Amino acid sequence: MEKIRATIRRIDNEVGMLIQPTQFHFVSDIAKQPNITKAYDAICRRSFIGSQYDWLARFCEQQGISDLQLCIHEDDKAHAVVVDKVIGDTDSYNSCRMNSTHCGTDEYTVFKYFSFPVLNLTKMEMQKVSRNRGWNEIMMKTWFCYRPKRGKPCGICNPCLYTLQEGLGWRIPLSRHFLARVNQWLWYPIWHPSKQIAKRALAYVRQ
């Protein structure tokens, strides 16, 4: 993040100075919010979404945040969960938000704290925008891997596999491509459904 800030300041110091220092919080310190977790579990019984959406929503509730930018995009697993419940101009780069007409639904309970600035963009479209606007140097410093090896993407975690599936395989080092492809073709088709089943089972247990 420091490298990204430094690059932005070098390209446009005025914009770079708008970025405030990072605040750090432990997920374990986020207060329980049974209504949010209950709604999250209900969504998990219908769809596969990441565990971060539960604690992110609880964090926003705890901190009094109501407009956190959440970069769910068109390739994202959570896209289908929210796309038909948002309001805003989905054909431009303007942010969408959950439509209050869906208040009381599980999706609204979890995602009402967020805005979605790239909801209907794919990763490939983001890459095109970045290239056209001269942001590639910045974007190449962004991070997506869960378990990097010597500062490089591992090629086998979920974000690395999603990066491959979304057409940005060039961001995975060539030395990790073989493992990434093996994982994508052999292990992922078995492991991913198993994880979905386990998550849904846990949601039922907590019901």
The one-character DSSP state at 57 is H
* Pairing mode of beta strands 86-87, 96-98: antiparallel
pLDDT at 79 over 90: yes
* Pairing mode of beta strands 114-116, 68-69: parallel
Q: How far apart are CA 37 and CA 125, in angstroms?
A: 33
Q: What is the pLDDT of residues 93-132, one digit of tens each?
A: 568 999 999 999 999 999 999 999 999 899 899 999 999 9
**What are the φ and ψ backbone dihedral angles of 5, each rounded to 5 degrees?**
-60, -45
- Per the prediction, the chain carries an average pLDDT of 86
Looking at per-residue confidence, does 150 or 179 come out higher?
Answer: 150
Instruction: Please state the domain extents for the chain.
Output: 31-116, 123-206
Q: How many CB atoms lie within 10 A of CB 205?
A: 8
pLDDT at 189 over 90: no
**What are the φ and ψ backbone dihedral angles of 106, each rounded to 5 degrees?**
-60, -40
Q: What residue has token string 């209907």?
A: 120
Q: With a threshold of 0.85, does the pTM exceed it?
A: no
Largest interatomic CA distance in the chain? 52
pLDDT at 182 over 80: no
